[in-house]
Chain A
Amino acid sequence: MLAKTLPEIGGMGHPIKRKEDLRFIQGKGNYIDDVQLPGMIYGHMVRSPYAHARITAIRTEEAKKLPGVLAVITGEDLAKANLAWMPTLFHDKQMVLATGKVLFQSQEVAFVVAEDRYTAADAADLVEIDYEELPVLIDPHKSQDSDAPILREDREEKSNLIFHWEVGDRAATDQAMKSAPVTAKVNAFFPRCHPAPLETCGCVIDFNSATGKLTAWITSQAPHAHRTVFALVAGLPEQNIRVISPDIGGGFGNKVPVYPGYVCAAVAALTVGRPVKWIETRSENLQSTGFARDYHMEAELAADKEGRLKALRVKTLADHGAFNAAAQPTKFPAGLFSICTGSYDFSSAFCEVDGVYTNKAPGGIAYRCSFRVTEAAYLIERAMDVLAQELKLDPVELRRKNFIPPEKFPYSSPLGWSYDSGNYQGALDLALERIGYNDLRKEQAEKRERGELMGIGISSFTEIVGAGPSHTFDILGLKMFDSAELRVHPTGKAIMRMGTKSQGQGHETTYAQIVAQELGIPAADVAIEEGDTDTAPYGLGTYASRSTPTSGAAAALAARKVREKARKIAAHLLEVSEEDLEWEPGKFSVKGAPGKSKTIQEIAFAAYTNFPQGMEPGLEAVHYYDPPNLTFPFGTYIAVVDIDKGTGEVKVRRFVAVDDCGNIINPMIVEGQVHGGLTEGLAIAFMQEISYDESGNIQGGTFMDYLVPTAVETPHWETGHTCTPSPHHPFGAKGVGESPNVGSPAAFVNAVVDALSHLGVKHIDMPLSPWKIWQILKDKGVTQ
């Protein structure tokens, strides 16, 4: 446990209110659509109504004739500047504006620029495009069929297979599977879902022809990476590109990729010579930008008769849509999916993933998830319940028997990870106690007698976050370190700039608390800035629960560098040697003479007014943190559900979430993160899916059908914590933003399946819509 600072200082562990909320709750945030520049004009995207079609003609004359229209840009226009295609963040390329053919419904085909938004929208209706429909490929299982249409004619390989990836020991796993007395198998589809941030994506791009500088305000979770991509794609010198990520209304991975709208707006700004704003509509956001999941997974578990696990074999088909627009580390085509051994000690495991193209929107991004960890956690936690059913064992017992025990950490997993620390049993026990597990099982037995349906679902997940160490992790070659630059002013106040970018996580508060902890400067006195590439140090941005593990670590280490310099100045001021000084948050005192001390504020003033001869003036430090390993947060979630037999509706009666994210910076922010993530998990489990009909028409492409839960649907979340610090992180933190989204879907599904398990139900795919449950009840003769 870390020593706690005084509340006035507000270091780690203090539930101080979020500094940024003052402006947000007053409506004084500065979001992308708040950016107004003199002479600004507006872009509007023309999109494909077809999922797969050849473009035979595009006529823009009528649109151009409309008064107020300044330009209509097509793929052919972009091709002249070699900009019709751009790289994705995962070694594929993507059409900016379609040339030749379209590959998914809602694909970008032309970009209209006009004096105002309304004219731009009217003109978009006047762009005439002739299409010749082509056969569509929607079912990824058919992507390798001999009669499947080849979607990506631009690629050399005439195949819809993007990659085959495997990890683990196939032979040993197959052998273990064959010889095991008990096996269990589950085919689980994690549906395509969408982060649906409340603020859609957008940009304002301004090119100053006098200075040659391009300033791009973008809803970007990774502004520095975007600047580099812009430099590489557009060939502009990087010092002449400034990306500013203003306040962001939710990202969840959706704002990591570079979207065609940004490129088109930049081209329009350069050609028309005026600043261009482009803001997605809600449907555009849902239908064309980074979706998540869409993993068709199969897991097989091998165990002995007592339920001790032997092996795990996983085979997965990943649907990426028309382009592999995943944003994930280069070496990991399926992200960190190989964390699928979860919290359990396996002697062998093997995992293979095939990524394929279909006529759907491109992705998939990591929605509140450290690269496919959500899929992995869901799969293993679902499979554990299926095995428990097979063995007629309580799911709690099965988990207990197989947890990696605390003394085995650091633990090397058969799929190649080194888990930093864990106490899985501890989190499970606390959750069981909080929910009153034994009483619930009794109640369930009584209810079953009466024909009532009630279920209890457990998920003891392990995450892998904080990418990542430079020896293994990069995106487009950029190593996944992150940074902090701390400057202490003469009056003892400070500013710290970061390589990350908050989208609602509360960075302005938590990073300040890290400085408060390390230097004793009150958190209120530390300003945090992010998102402006001209001022902030280079970093890879915020996603994958990486801010605390990387930039948070950098903040602490930069503060420690400042403290070391402060010690020298204090020694000078107190006329003692450095070794004679003792540090407590906020001041250095002379050992044995506690009255003789200098506060950090006094020292800061001296750093500018009275520093020792020969010392560099000022008090600041920069740190680029290359993490030695990832961090492995974990927890146990338990859901209790009741099912209405008449309608198939599921009510989540209770939900206990015990998280272990190591040392906590701000418990209130952690609580908020957990609540938000659980609510998203609830939505994914019960109501959200973006599906496609046979012709490739998007279902669920508006908020009419893509359901975002409100407070009414959301149960009361009961939260708790255990604390197992990360041994390698400077202050023992692990990251928590994604745990609730990662861990909760399995708890919900396990609970519903548990309620129906006595009827022989082993698995139901999400979303667990009332009609699906009703169908099962009807098939089982439980309802009419």
Chain B
Amino acid sequence: MIPKAFDYCRPKTLPEAISLLQQHGDAAKILSGGESLIPMMKMRLAQPEYLIDINQISGLEYIKEEDGYLKIGALTREADLEASDLIRSKYPLILDTAFSIADPQVRNLATVGGNLAHGDPANDHPATMLALNAEVVATGPNGERSIPIKEFFVSLFTTALQPNEILTEIRIPAPPAKSGGAYFKLERKVGDFATVGVAAQVAVDAKGVCQQAGIGLTNAGGTPIKAEKAEEFLRGKPLDDGNISQAASLAADDAHPSSDLRGPAEYKISMVRELTKRALTKAVNRASQER
């Protein structure tokens, strides 16, 4: 639990941070909430020579609706999501997710940007952002670029971010009327990473027919998974128990978890099915309560 020695930099602006990244390349790591990075350093699984703490950079913590998007600044803390009226009233899926992450102490520091940038399939926001079809904004020496979330998670702990890029914003397309979402996470205790988790977001028309469906899976494979076959199956269909059940089975087909102390793979696959059912059912309920 004793990290290796490292140098610590605390840039005040984004360009300064990016130039530090350019200067130190692979030897540097961005520090946001530190809730994943510091434990890895303490176990010497990560041994960066430079820590670039971006917490002093202003203008990276916000939650706002703008240009047809919900925009979340990368440094926004989980606790901010939980406290936000906008999130509480319009984005139940994000609220569920934030609430299921770790414990209140961790959520006071952990950031949404860090949760995605870490590239850990066990983190909860990736599935949610996959269900919401978010975009990730990366800022580098050549300015901003937007990465569709589907292309963001490359492999275990690897994302589409370049070594000289910083994740600065998450954009979520504003949900249409009659939308709802829910996150279900199976965990052995509070603060545990998911055995599996399922994020579901749906939009229905007046008759209850599915207009949009998004389903993301947590800890069900080497990367966060978008259950596209299930999403596709639901579109244009009434969201009744039968269809939800079929979609749940399709989502389970997309899961390829490995066995570990949280349970055998077979169990986890079955749990993806079970939780998908529960998440979709709750999402539909929430959608139909919306005007």
Q: Which residues in A have some Cβ–Cβ distance to B below 8 Å?
A: 44, 117-118, 120-122, 125, 281-283, 646-649, 687, 699-700, 704-705, 707-710, 712-713, 769-771, 774-775, 778, 784
Q: Which residues in B have some Cβ–Cβ distance to A below 8 Å?
A: 1-2, 4-5, 44, 103, 186, 188-193, 195, 261-264, 267, 270-271, 273-275, 278
CB distance from A57 to the nearest CB of B (A): 23
Which of these, B5, B195, B270, contacts A118 with CB under 8 Å?
A: B5
Q: How far is the CA of A687 from the CA of B267 in the complex (A)?
A: 17
Asked if A770 and B270 sit within 8 Å, CB to CB, the answer is no
Asked if B274 and A647 sit within 8 Å, CB to CB, the answer is yes
Asked if A770 and B186 sit within 8 Å, CB to CB, the answer is yes
Asked if B2 and A707 sit within 8 Å, CB to CB, the answer is no
B-side contacts of A704, CB under 8 Å: 193
A-side contacts of B195, CB under 8 Å: 770-771
CB distance from B138 to the nearest CB of A (A): 30
Q: How far is the CA of A708 from the CA of B190 in the complex (A)?
A: 10
Q: How far is the CA of A122 from the CA of B3 in the complex (A)?
A: 9
Asked if A707 and B262 sit within 8 Å, CB to CB, the answer is no
Given A122-B5, A282-B1, A784-B270: A707 touches B192 (CB 8 Å cut-off): yes
Asked if A775 and B189 sit within 8 Å, CB to CB, the answer is no
Q: How far is the CA of A710 from the CA of B189 in the complex (A)?
A: 8
Nearest chain-A residue to B5 (Cβ)?
A: A118
Q: How far is the CA of A774 from the CA of B272 in the complex (A)?
A: 13
CB distance from B255 to the nearest CB of A (A): 15
Asked if A687 and B5 sit within 8 Å, CB to CB, the answer is no
Asked if B261 and A647 sit within 8 Å, CB to CB, the answer is no
Q: Which of A44, A710, A774 has the most CB of B within 10 A?
A: A774
Q: How far is the CA of A769 from the CA of B262 in the complex (A)?
A: 8
Q: How far is the CA of A532 from the CA of B195 in the complex (A)?
A: 47
Q: How far is the CA of A358 from the CA of B5 in the complex (A)?
A: 38
With A122-B4, A710-B103, A778-B270 given, name 7 new contacts (CB 8 A): A118-B2, A283-B1, A687-B188, A704-B193, A710-B189, A769-B263, A770-B186
Q: How far is the CA of A699 from the CA of B4 in the complex (A)?
A: 25
Asked if A774 and B270 sit within 8 Å, CB to CB, the answer is yes
CB distance from B82 to the nearest CB of A (A): 16
Asked if B274 and A646 sit within 8 Å, CB to CB, the answer is yes
A-side contacts of B186, CB under 8 Å: 647, 649, 770
A-side contacts of B192, CB under 8 Å: 707
Q: List 30 A-B contacts (CB under 8 A).
A: A44-B2, A117-B2, A121-B2, A122-B4, A122-B5, A281-B2, A283-B1, A646-B278, A647-B186, A649-B186, A687-B189, A707-B188, A708-B189, A709-B189, A710-B103, A710-B191, A713-B189, A713-B190, A769-B188, A770-B186, A770-B188, A770-B195, A770-B267, A771-B262, A771-B264, A774-B270, A775-B264, A775-B267, A778-B270, A784-B274
Q: How far is the CA of A344 from the CA of B274 in the complex (A)?
A: 44
Asked if A712 and B267 sit within 8 Å, CB to CB, the answer is no
CB distance from A85 to the nearest CB of B (A): 28
Q: How far is the CA of A280 from the CA of B245 in the complex (A)?
A: 50
B-side contacts of A700, CB under 8 Å: 261
Q: How far is the CA of A709 from the CA of B192 in the complex (A)?
A: 11
Q: How far is the CA of A771 from the CA of B195 in the complex (A)?
A: 10
CB distance from A713 to the nearest CB of B (A): 5
Asked if A647 and B189 sit within 8 Å, CB to CB, the answer is no
CB distance from B216 to the nearest CB of A (A): 19
CB distance from B73 to the nearest CB of A (A): 29
Nearest chain-A residue to B259 (Cβ)?
A: A771
Q: How far is the CA of A647 from the CA of B196 in the complex (A)?
A: 11
CB distance from B265 to the nearest CB of A (A): 10
CB distance from A762 to the nearest CB of B (A): 22
A-side contacts of B263, CB under 8 Å: 769-771, 774
B-side contacts of A770, CB under 8 Å: 186, 188, 195, 263, 267
CB distance from B192 to the nearest CB of A (A): 7
Asked if A712 and B190 sit within 8 Å, CB to CB, the answer is yes
Which of these, B1, B191, B261, B270, contacts A705 with CB under 8 Å?
A: B261
A-side contacts of B2, CB under 8 Å: 44, 117-118, 120-121, 281
Nearest chain-B residue to A646 (Cβ)?
A: B274
Q: How far is the CA of A744 from the CA of B271 in the complex (A)?
A: 29
Q: How far is the CA of A608 from the CA of B186 in the complex (A)?
A: 69
Nearest chain-B residue to A687 (Cβ)?
A: B188
Asked if B271 and A647 sit within 8 Å, CB to CB, the answer is yes
Q: How far is the CA of A646 from the CA of B279 in the complex (A)?
A: 13
Which of these, A699, A708, A710, A774, contacts B267 with CB under 8 Å?
A: A774
CB distance from A378 to the nearest CB of B (A): 22
Nearest chain-B residue to A44 (Cβ)?
A: B2
Q: How far is the CA of A707 from the CA of B187 in the complex (A)?
A: 11
B-side contacts of A771, CB under 8 Å: 195, 262-264, 267
Q: How far is the CA of A649 from the CA of B262 in the complex (A)?
A: 12
A-side contacts of B193, CB under 8 Å: 704
Q: How far is the CA of A687 from the CA of B191 in the complex (A)?
A: 14
Asked if B273 and A707 sit within 8 Å, CB to CB, the answer is no
CB distance from B218 to the nearest CB of A (A): 15
B-side contacts of A44, CB under 8 Å: 2
Nearest chain-A residue to B42 (Cβ)?
A: A281
Which of these, A282, A648, A699, A707, contacts B189 with CB under 8 Å?
A: A707
A-side contacts of B4, CB under 8 Å: 122
CB distance from A50 to the nearest CB of B (A): 19
Q: How far is the CA of A705 from the CA of B193 in the complex (A)?
A: 10
CB distance from B44 to the nearest CB of A (A): 8
Which of these, B190, B264, B271, B273, contacts A710 with CB under 8 Å?
A: B190
Nearest chain-A residue to B192 (Cβ)?
A: A707
CB distance from A194 to the nearest CB of B (A): 15
B-side contacts of A769, CB under 8 Å: 188, 263
Q: How far is the CA of A647 from the CA of B273 in the complex (A)?
A: 10
Q: How far is the CA of A183 from the CA of B46 in the complex (A)?
A: 58
Q: How far is the CA of A771 from the CA of B273 in the complex (A)?
A: 14
Nearest chain-B residue to A712 (Cβ)?
A: B190
CB distance from B3 to the nearest CB of A (A): 8
A-side contacts of B103, CB under 8 Å: 710
B-side contacts of A282, CB under 8 Å: 1
Q: How far is the CA of A775 from the CA of B4 in the complex (A)?
A: 43
Q: How far is the CA of A118 from the CA of B193 in the complex (A)?
A: 29
Q: How far is the CA of A770 from the CA of B103 in the complex (A)?
A: 21
Q: How far is the CA of A769 from the CA of B268 in the complex (A)?
A: 13
CB distance from A767 to the nearest CB of B (A): 9
Q: How far is the CA of A120 from the CA of B5 in the complex (A)?
A: 12
CB distance from B2 to the nearest CB of A (A): 4
Nearest chain-A residue to B103 (Cβ)?
A: A710
A-side contacts of B188, CB under 8 Å: 687, 707, 769-770
B-side contacts of A281, CB under 8 Å: 1-2
Q: How far is the CA of A771 from the CA of B261 in the complex (A)?
A: 10
Nearest chain-A residue to B263 (Cβ)?
A: A771
B-side contacts of A122, CB under 8 Å: 4-5
CB distance from B32 to the nearest CB of A (A): 21
Which of these, B191, B273, B275, B278, contacts A784 with CB under 8 Å?
A: B273
CB distance from A446 to the nearest CB of B (A): 25
Q: How far is the CA of A283 from the CA of B39 in the complex (A)?
A: 13
Nearest chain-B residue to A689 (Cβ)?
A: B261
Q: How far is the CA of A129 from the CA of B182 in the complex (A)?
A: 52
B-side contacts of A709, CB under 8 Å: 189
A-side contacts of B274, CB under 8 Å: 646-647, 784
CB distance from A644 to the nearest CB of B (A): 9
Q: How far is the CA of A704 from the CA of B267 in the complex (A)?
A: 20
Q: How far is the CA of A689 from the CA of B186 in the complex (A)?
A: 19
Q: How far is the CA of A128 from the CA of B195 in the complex (A)?
A: 38
Q: How far is the CA of A505 from the CA of B270 in the complex (A)?
A: 45
Q: How far is the CA of A282 from the CA of B195 in the complex (A)?
A: 23
Q: Which of A118, A125, A647 has the most CB of B within 10 A?
A: A647
CB distance from B104 to the nearest CB of A (A): 11
B-side contacts of A646, CB under 8 Å: 274, 278
Q: How far is the CA of A712 from the CA of B187 in the complex (A)?
A: 12
Nearest chain-B residue to A767 (Cβ)?
A: B188
Nearest chain-A residue to B261 (Cβ)?
A: A705
Q: How far is the CA of A281 from the CA of B43 in the complex (A)?
A: 10
Q: How far is the CA of A476 from the CA of B61 in the complex (A)?
A: 63
A-side contacts of B270, CB under 8 Å: 774, 778, 784
